[in-house]
A and B are shown apart, each in its own frame.
Chain A
Amino acid sequence: MRAALPTVPSLHSEWIKIRSLRGTLGGLIAVLAATAGIQALTAAAIGQAEEGSMGSDPLFAAYYGISFGQIAAMVFGAGAVSSEFHNGALRTSLAAVPNRTRFYLSKIATVGVLALLTGQVTGLATFVAGQAFMGQYALELGDPGTYRAVVGSGLYLTLMALFAAGLTAVLRSGTVVLSLLIPFVLLVSFVVGEAAGGAAQFLPDRAGQLVVHSRMEGDLGPWTGLGVMALWAGAAVLGGWLAVRRRDA
């Protein structure tokens, strides 16, 4: 197993692959731009209209933009993996790093680290930029749950990127993965999720977003919710590993 861990050259190679494609690099930048940008714009527009104008849970309201940022995170994660299925790119990649476990772990690690760095910057930027427009209703860093939300939102975005990356390795198509996941988080989860509790609270986005909530309505807490999301992402990454190991390139 030790022999299959990522090496400095294999990680370096994956970083070059990600930064050299507009789609993947753009997705990464969009995580920050969409989450913090939409947060700031919305707060500026309606934040001071009345108390609770952005939602009854002020902490979750401070992360309104994450609904959009998570889509960018998916685009980034799916894109980083699906680029290998473009033409015969995977063959060239595996000729360079023939150990498939090493190849896959290097890619997942690179996606994870980049998403984590971007996610943490995003978590803080979203809070600061959003609250700057909230006037008298603004939260301050240090208010209950705020530190958890800043760190947790970044972790949530990272897990979403990994979830999409793993699924793409299983299904071998970013388009398929995004056309499943985007409607899912935008519609299905909104609709089903309104009926809090039940099985719906264990859906990846529902459970994961608890980390930016101040009130918990179901059985999960903020960190256990994020833990459930991590299980989803872990299962997808594991499935991707099995697929990459088994299939002909």
Chain B
Amino acid sequence: MNSIEIRELTKAYGSHRAVDGLTFDVLPGRVTGFLGPNGAGKSTTMRLLLGLDRATSGTATIGGRRYLDLPDPLHRVGALLDAQSAHGGRTARDHLLFLAAAGRMPVRRVDEVLEQTGIASVARRRIKSFSLGMRQRLGIAAALLGDPGVLLLDEPTNGLDPEGIIWIRELMRGLAAEGRSVLVSSHLMSETSAFADHLVVLGKGKLLADTSMAEFIDARSTRRVRLRTSDPIRLRVALAREGFELAAADDGRWTVEGIRAEQLGNLAAREGIPVLELSDERASLEQAYLDLTADHAQFTATH
């Protein structure tokens, strides 16, 4: 009921395919991070889902129905598209009031989301006087208005201060824990890993990965330990017997590829080799993500 189904979704602008044969699901009860370089098609996918743009082919549905066919759309789906999707001449409160009227919601609800997003004190100011972070909070307020089971948030942390980023992270985790579907786009893997349970990665309109966060970390980061020992010679022999190789690192420490700290610690203890320092080292998540999308970035700076 609260899931999102994307099937063979394609959107062509002229001859350019912004979204190209995408298929994936967004399931309730977890936060799904939606990643991809600039122009990958994240925002386009969200617009197609809301019926704002027309798909060239394929379907995007919510609980099996097109957004257009939902009888009570604001109560089913809340969307933050981009922070600019509001007329600057209106006050924040009026912006939410016309949405609430369209969704048959009481005025009380408007004041609730204004409080919840921390912009109640500026509610009667015109939106054009808002900072990017304030607009972003207004957009989040609009998305939350109908208490929807599905949330689409396009770069919600854009422009938020650190306190705001922590707040939205907690908010999204809380919404997912209540059984809602939360799809959140971002450019940063490190940021996304702080709140997402699942990952969908796009590159040039195509699906590059659809995996749980944990699997992504396991599969994409190579295992390696870093250690200090007073007896590298015996350790090298002991490791070689197990098929591992001790390599000198530049700071006087040693590294071993393809092994976990736990495994190496046990081995050293069995052999009675003193190990002074031992830690797992993972290729950074951000690096793993960049490697994945490297060939699919449309816009890259030339050095």
Contacts and interface: CB of A to CB of B under 8 A. Distances in A.
Interface residues of A, number: 26
B52 A89 contact: no
Interface stretch (B84-92, B198-206, B219-227, B286-294): B84-92
A21 B90 contact: yes
B73 A95 contact: yes
A111 B88 CA distance: 21
B114 interface: no
Given A86-B88, A86-B89, A87-B87, A96 B52 contact: no
Interface stretch (A7-15, A47-55, A151-159): A7-15
A150 B6 CA distance: 58
Contacts of B67: 98
A179 interface: no
B160 interface: no
Interface stretch (B97-105, B176-184, B228-236): B97-105
Contacts of A96: 73-74, 98-99, 102-103
Contact of B87 (A10, A86, A95, A98): A86
B19 interface: no
A181 interface: no
A146 interface: no
Contacts of B90: 17, 20-21
A89 B102 contact: no
B53 A22 contact: no
B94 interface: yes
A215 B103 CA distance: 51
Given A10-B102, A94-B52, A88 B73 contact: no
A61 B278 CA distance: 98
A17 B90 CA distance: 8
Nearest to B90: A20
A16 interface: yes
A249 B73 contact: no
A98 B91 contact: no
B50 A95 contact: yes
A143 interface: no
Contacts of A83: 87, 89
Contact of B85 (A10, A14, A92, A99): A92
A98 B50 contact: yes
Contacts of A89: 85-87
A16 B102 CA distance: 10
A21 B74 contact: no
Given A96-B102, A249-B53, A16 B86 contact: no
A98 B103 contact: no
Given A12-B101, A13-B101, A13-B102, A98 B85 contact: no
Contacts of B91: 20
B142 interface: yes
A248 B91 CA distance: 26
Interface string A87-107: 111011011111100000000
B89 A21 contact: yes
Contacts of B247: none
A183 interface: no
Q: 7 closest pairs, A vs B, by CB?
A: A20-B94, A88-B85, A13-B102, A96-B102, A16-B98, A249-B52, A248-B53
